[in-house]
Amino acid sequence: SVVVLDSLNSIKGFRYEMWCLARAAGTRSCVVHVATPADVCRQWNGTRGQQAAYPPGVLEDLLGRFERPDSKSRWDAPLFEVSPWQEDGDQVAAVLQRAAAAMVGGAAASAPAAALLNPTVATAAPAASSTNLLGDIDSAAQHVIERIVDAQQAAGGSAGHLQFSADGSVTLDLSSSLSLPELRRHKRGFIKLATQNALTIRDSDQATRLFVSYLQPQLE
């Protein structure tokens, strides 16, 4: 399913919050900016009728506080812009089709790639844990530790870049080495978070992703 948040979204802090929600859900997100000059906004507002129009003072306040989306910001990317005040319906529809393609995997040649956002320890929300699930979490974390130990032994120290998913979305940069006792200590800390319902973990794949995310700061 696709969620379209048709709102002002004029403050970058609010767009960042929406990006965090998308990341916690492990899904894609994009921003569609209806790029319209202030004078055109005032003109359109004047034609809406008294019940639907913004009071002049409110409109000016909104215009003054507007923070334009920037494609360089990760919470605004990929960014699509439409200008219905100067573009015809076909041009607007073409941009919206590119946005839709980016959200479902990117089929349009000119559509920026929208990567699946991976939940992290910081963005994961609380959820209950079952006994079976805790066993899966323990096994997933142990598998990560074994991969790291094997890679470090094979490399004779720092093992470089390790991949934990077939699509390359879950990776660990082993810029420094971790001893087995350190890895076990981090595993205990991670499982403690899980048992305290501080993480949303639904299966072993998500446990692997979050444990890798938990480990990465320890290597930096």
Which pLDDT score is estimated for 55?
A: 92
Please give the C-alpha separations between residue 99 and each of 23, 89, 94, 96, 111, in angstroms, as whole numbers.
18, 15, 9, 5, 7
Q: Is there a contact between 28 and 116 (Cβ–Cβ < 8 Å)?
A: yes
Q: Going residue by residue through the chain (220 aa), what tens digit of pLDDT does each one get?
A: 788 998 888 888 888 888 888 887 778 899 999 999 999 999 999 999 888 999 999 999 999 989 999 999 888 999 999 998 888 889 999 999 999 988 887 544 455 557 767 666 555 544 444 557 788 888 999 999 998 888 888 877 666 778 887 777 788 887 778 888 889 988 988 888 777 655 667 788 888 888 888 887 776 6
Alpha helices in the chain (DSSP H): 12-25, 38-46, 56-65, 89-103, 131-155, 180-195, 204-215
pLDDT tens profile 138-162:
899 999 999 888 888 887 766 677 8
Which pLDDT score is estimated for 43?
A: 94
Q: What global pTM score does this model have?
A: 0.53
Which pLDDT score is estimated for 129?
A: 45
Which pLDDT score is estimated for 78?
A: 93
